[in-house]
Structure 1
Amino acid sequence: MGKIRRSYFPTFVELKHQGIIRYMSSQYWQAVEKKFQWEDTYSNLPGHVKGVPRGQGFPIKKIFTFLGMTIKGIIGLLIAQLLHLVPYLWQKLIKGEIVFTGTADFGLLTIFAQFNDWNSLDEFNEFFQPWTFFKKPDVAEDWNSDIEFGRQRLTGMNPILIRKCQADDISPSSNFPVTDELVNPFPGQDINLAAAIQANRLYILDFPILNQITTKILEEQLGRYPQSPSCLFYLDDKQQLIPIAIKLQYEPDAEHQAYRQIITHKSPPEDWQAAKVAVASADAAYQGVVSHLLNTHLLIEAFSVSTYRKISPSHILYQLLTPHYFNTLAINNMARNVFLERGGFFDATGALGYYGSRELLNRGYNGYEKVVPKLEFYKLALPYDLKNRDVLDLPNYYYRDDALLMWNAIKDYVTEVLQTRYQTDADVVSDREAQAWKEELMTNGNIYGLLPPERDNQLNSIQALIDIVTNVIFIATAQHAAVNFGQYDYAGWVPNNPFALYQSFSDLFTTNSAKIPLTKRLPNRLETIKQMVLVKVLTMTPPHSSQSLLTLDNPFSDTSAKQVFEKFQQRLQEIETQISQRNSSLSKPYIYLLPSRIPQSIAI
């Protein structure tokens, strides 16, 4: 791409040398750094700001919208439960099953504890009535089919983990030794695994990061039973991704040796369904803690704070980046208090509890043994990630297709904006503010792998700056949208993506034992209400959470940069049209990367 004509946009340092104005005083920078103070609460995670700096809080209208949606949702779901309670108690009464044997509570706690359980999956439909304000997710119709299960790995709420299977992944010496004999006869055809690998028809979803993350004692204390499953998928003749084998634990400890068994279509149907739910729940746990919270929210906060601390408001980098930090510090402060603390959502309701969630964050960022590398920023770049997972030729992968459209548009936009300021690599090297920003990210921001090893984290070229900024804006906008806004559509129907499972899976591996019904593994009525309200509120789309990329105001003061922004929005409109046309031919459209639905920032 040819460089556009440079509209010189000087930094404060250059203006000082020109004698136009004086560089920002040391008092100014001291005041800025005092306002945006680093807080070392989690020394092993990306750096975060202390509190919510003045001017960074939620707008009043957004607060009321947020609270209104939460309160309305809770009231609606409680009304649904009240309408269930009356006939429930009546049936108990006429059957003579209400016996007041207790003392202080007259036995009512026993009665209501049973009421909190599900008797059948059909009872989940009670939550989707006109008076509950909750629309039943479309996935409720076929959530338990193998085809739908496979489709969600590509277009669901966590479409970023599926990868092409290699021979070593399922070899006899691997943790997941799948054989032709195990999976065959497969409905409709026999599968030759070696030939399927050569034909690029095998894919895998696995969670070594969850391996032994909780102990048996902790599981019993929490009453929750997270798994670290591996799931093998086969791309059939209709280009549908079908699960064919599941192992529940990556590397079972001494107390779970039976979990080495692999579950397939030849297993009892209730075992196969339970295994798929275990995979979906693990996927939800990873999405909540790593894909969503760590890899978007927490990571972008470090860039946000570094920008505010080291870049002056008239700098092109400041104007380019700060629109994509709107409300991020406020929502992250709330997330740390509501999700991560003792008694928070991860502790009380999540699959892993307080300690397990903290450990998952640590593994996600710093790596785990030899199976999970530490998180390096440059590896999150979309082209690198897709190539690393070897999914560039995976059919019907609409997340990949739409994400690449957005990545390329953002990269071109960033390139042209930065070329209005920098003509040569030397301009970047001599830019005192940009260099201070980079150093701040690596030190106080605790960002690993800002650039690939061959660049030695040196911000010494225009291309290096383009690569960093493109990745930041993509993560803060499109990537966050992809892992956030599908949550209600897929986890609003709780059996499809339960945030936790409440029974052991040992019955699947014990002969002649009673099978635990799926309803007993799922969150009870109270936990279901909490999950539904949470995912409903978290999927509050523009304009309620922020502006979308299509409605964002032009952030630049320079004429040439303004024109680049206008060109960018025109391209986004073209992408909107392109995706909409594709979606019109799909029975289940992929909508999360429509530019009109992508917020300007991580604001919810």
Structure 2
Amino acid sequence: MRSPARQQRRQQLIQQYVLSRRTMLALIGLACAPALEMCLGNKSYATAPDLPANQDIPTLPQKNNSAIQLERQEQLSAVRLQYQLAFRLPNAVRVATLPLQEVFDQAYKNNREILSQKIAANQQAFQQSPKPFVTLEDYAAVFKVLPLPDIAKTFKSNDTFAKQRLSGPNPMELTNVLSLNYNLFEKLGITDEIFQTVLLSQTGKADESETLNSATQEGRLFVTDYARLDSTHVTLKSNRFLTAPIALYYADRSRSHSRLIPIAIQLGQVPKESLLCTPMDGVDWTLAKLIAQMADFNVHELVRHLGQTHLALEPIALATVRELAARHPVNVLLKPHFEFTMAINALADQVLINPGGYVDIIFGSTIESSLNLTTLGISEFFNNFSNFALPNNLRQRGVDERSVLRDFPYRDDGLLVWDALLDYVSQYVGIYYRSNQDVIEDFELQNWLQVLRKSVSDGGFGIVSLPPRLTNRDQLINLLTQIIFTAGPQHSAIAWIQYQYMSFIPNMPGAIYQPIPTVKGTMQDESSLTHFLSGIEQTFAQVNVIASISNKVDIKAFTDFGVNSFQDPRAINVLKSLQDRLEVVEKQISQRNQRREEYYPGFLPSRMANSTSA
């Protein structure tokens, strides 16, 4: 007869290693029905039992004995010596010296070399028989080896101009007038008469009852306001010109289709003093669109792309590696999404944002002014961090509802990916954090949060809008989902699409080379517009850098983590569930693209990268 002690020990082992029927069913559901938890509408957490002690299995520090806790602290002390801190911008911390484990791998280097050779061959082919840019169409001649973007065929179209607010490289600016925190019509000099005349010319329908006020109240008016480019923030180079335009759009929602109609562009922030152009103004309207596109180029590259992905993510990556031990589950989760980020930013220091680098050559403002815009963009991101979570950002801009803006590919496809990631992170967090108390007691996690939110002047990383403490799993899940989404899908959506729109100068110029007009009728025809655009040197600087940063050089698929692959079988099951769900998302987006007038690849999982790496 077994002794009570042996029976008790046997029962403990069973509880530790044998899966209950309920838990087994939950895991089968994870592996076989990745969308099940979404269909049920309930937030669920993985409840697999603890695995035996294994140094490759992530653990929470408070669950370890004192010897392992000491080992974790020693490891972090060594890492902090490797990852010492320096400043890239006043509010953007960088790694002082790039550690060996952060450099590009050989496959990445090989792919970048192939791309560089192709870019160089393209420029050399043009230089063999260079021709001046007499017409806008002449800019197509710079694409000798590189493919001519499709936008070169349609860039003059008003529909093409408007669609770029919805599915172009910068879908972050469009805002419903109802959602503005200021009165737009105090700074935009448009009248009901102008509005109705433009509507009639663009839709063929006269409706005197549709006024600016009624269209605003119906949620039909949208704006892109580039006020951050106002001259108070910017110092211009000689022979370069910049303004802060405002573009107004109307959502035409018929039963059969919907479209965004450009109504007017004001070439500055002061009504009456700044020229207002409409689609009826011929070549002046074409120039106004060029100037608005230039403004969008500046805000996209300096703020949304460089500031709010690349330079905002490196401080988070540094805090993660310096404050969370290698076996911490949050470190393990995030590590694949920081791969090569420090390396690509270090490369940018050498060729992109350095004096004489690409930013200095392409943009109209001085390098100091350009980087000041980036600094302001980082501050906006860090001071309002949760507002940049995709659902929150869409809601705050008043573009979250299909009833208001029916066709918005960035929103519609992005939310599919966001929801998949949110469920994935929820399942992953549930493996290691069985309760809110586990979050509260995780001292490494709380230290990580504290250094993230501490101001830069106090030795932190400056994300001051983060909460004082993490007190529950939902807080942690939302934070991690936003970090992963920003590093992978968001960067992929706004970066890999750039070549299609931003390499063709007449669609999105980096700078304007003639004074911003204040009156209409000074130009005879469109050939005059080439004087406002770049010459050969600046043109190739823009084409070359856009070609370089628009390609996914790291060929690993999204969720293929390579050397950073999970070792915990429970986490592997959760990752497999995400992969299965993303296959469904891929099919959904592909089906949508078949119905769309314009193909939108931004959030196709097959095109996304794990990290901000190019």
TM-score of the two chains, using structure 2 as the length reference? 0.84
Q: What aligned pairs does 1:173-212 form with structure 2 within 5 A after superposition?
A: 174-186=186-198, 187=201, 188-190=204-206, 191-212=210-231
In 1, Cα distance between the equivalents of 2:263 and 2:81?
56
In 2, Cα distance between the equivalents of 1:278 and 1:513?
15
Change (3 A) 1:235 1:387: same
Q: What aligned pairs does 1:30-41 form with structure 2 within 5 A after superposition?
A: 30-41=77-88
Q: Does 1:545 align with 2:560?
A: no
Q: Does 1:166 align with 2:178?
A: yes
1:592 aligns with one of 588, 594, 602 = 602
Q: What aligned pairs does 1:196-595 form with structure 2 within 5 A after superposition?
A: 196-213=215-232, 218-219=235-236, 221-236=237-252, 237=254, 238-251=257-270, 258-259=273-274, 261-267=275-281, 269-366=282-379, 375-392=383-400, 393=402, 394-443=405-454, 444-451=459-466, 456-506=467-517, 508-509=518-519, 517-541=528-552, 544-553=553-562, 555-595=565-605
| Residue range with higher mean Cα deviation, 548-557 or 432-441 | 548-557
The answer (yes or no) to whether the contact 1:227–1:282 under 8 Å persists in 2 is: yes
Task: Give the letter for the 1:189 counterpart.
Answer: K
Change (3 A) 1:478 1:445: farther
Find the residue that maps to 1:297 and give its secondary structure. Answer: helix
The answer (yes or no) to whether the contact 2:246–2:266 under 8 Å persists in 1 is: yes
The answer (yes or no) to whether the contact 2:92–2:375 under 8 Å persists in 1 is: no
Q: Does 1:24 align with 2:38?
A: no
- Cα deviation for residue 14 of structure 1 reads 2.4
The answer (yes or no) to whether the contact 1:169–1:176 under 8 Å persists in 2 is: no
Change (3 A) 1:167 1:533: closer
2:148 aligns with one of 132, 136, 155 = 136
| Residue range with higher mean Cα deviation, 75-84 or 461-470 | 75-84
The answer (yes or no) to whether the contact 1:377–1:448 under 8 Å persists in 2 is: yes
Change (3 A) 1:199 1:489: same
1:10 aligns with one of 59, 66, 82 = 59
In 1, Cα distance between the equivalents of 2:460 and 2:240?
34
Give 2:97's aligned residue. 51
- Cα deviation for residue 528 of structure 1 reads 1.3
Task: Give the letter for the 1:365 counterpart.
Answer: I
1:124 aligns with one of 90, 114, 139 = 139
The answer (yes or no) to whether the contact 1:307–1:318 under 8 Å persists in 2 is: yes
| Residue range with higher mean Cα deviation, 299-308 or 57-66 | 57-66
- Cα deviation for residue 265 of structure 1 reads 2.7
How many residues end up aligned between the 2 structures?
546
- Cα deviation for residue 505 of structure 1 reads 1.6
Structure 2: tracts of 5 or more residues without a match: 1-42, 51-57
In 2, Cα distance between the equivalents of 1:362 and 1:51?
21
- Cα deviation for residue 78 of structure 1 reads 2.6
Task: Give the letter for the 1:263 counterpart.
Answer: C
Give 2:38's aligned residue. none
Change (3 A) 1:47 1:251: farther
In 1, Cα distance between the equivalents of 2:162 and 2:520?
28
The answer (yes or no) to whether the contact 1:183–1:266 under 8 Å persists in 2 is: no
In 1, Cα distance between the equivalents of 2:418 and 2:145?
36
Find the residue that maps to 1:501 and give its secondary structure. Answer: coil
The answer (yes or no) to whether the contact 2:62–2:441 under 8 Å persists in 1 is: no
The answer (yes or no) to whether the contact 2:361–2:538 under 8 Å persists in 1 is: no
Change (3 A) 1:251 1:361: farther
Find the residue that maps to 1:184 and give its secondary structure. Answer: helix
- Cα deviation for residue 183 of structure 1 reads 2.8
- CA-to-aligned-CA distance 1:197-247 (integer Å, 9 cap, x gap): 2322211111111111466xx53x432112211000012244111111111
Change (3 A) 1:167 1:69: closer
The answer (yes or no) to whether the contact 1:6–1:423 under 8 Å persists in 2 is: no
Find the residue that maps to 2:265 and give its secondary structure. Answer: strand
* Identical-pair percentage: 28
Task: Give the letter for the 2:608 counterpart.
Answer: I
In 2, Cα distance between the equivalents of 1:122 and 1:520?
13
- CA-to-aligned-CA distance 1:143-165 (integer Å, 9 cap, x gap): 11111111110000101110111
In 2, Cα distance between the equivalents of 1:442 and 1:172?
34
Q: Does 1:69 align with 2:115?
A: yes
The answer (yes or no) to whether the contact 2:319–2:461 under 8 Å persists in 1 is: no
| Residue range with higher mean Cα deviation, 320-329 or 557-566 | 557-566
TM-score of the two chains, using structure 1 as the length reference? 0.85
- Cα deviation for residue 42 of structure 1 reads 2.2
The answer (yes or no) to whether the contact 2:245–2:268 under 8 Å persists in 1 is: yes
- Cα deviation for residue 349 of structure 1 reads 1.6
2:126 aligns with one of 80, 86, 91 = 80
In 1, Cα distance between the equivalents of 2:134 and 2:522?
23
- CA-to-aligned-CA distance 1:141-191 (integer Å, 9 cap, x gap): 111111111111000010111011139789686111321122332202345
- CA-to-aligned-CA distance 1:375-401 (integer Å, 9 cap, x gap): 421111111101000102212101101
The answer (yes or no) to whether the contact 1:46–1:298 under 8 Å persists in 2 is: yes
In 1, Cα distance between the equivalents of 2:170 and 2:49?
41
In 2, Cα distance between the equivalents of 1:168 and 1:366?
20
In 2, Cα distance between the equivalents of 1:510 and 1:497?
22
- CA-to-aligned-CA distance 1:443-496 (integer Å, 9 cap, x gap): 345333443xxxx43211111111110100000011101111111000121110
Give 2:21's aligned residue. none
In 2, Cα distance between the equivalents of 1:405 and 1:136?
31
How big is the alpha-carbon RMSD for the aligned residues of Structure 1 and Structure 2? 2.3
In 2, Cα distance between the equivalents of 1:540 and 1:46?
25
Change (3 A) 1:428 1:522: same
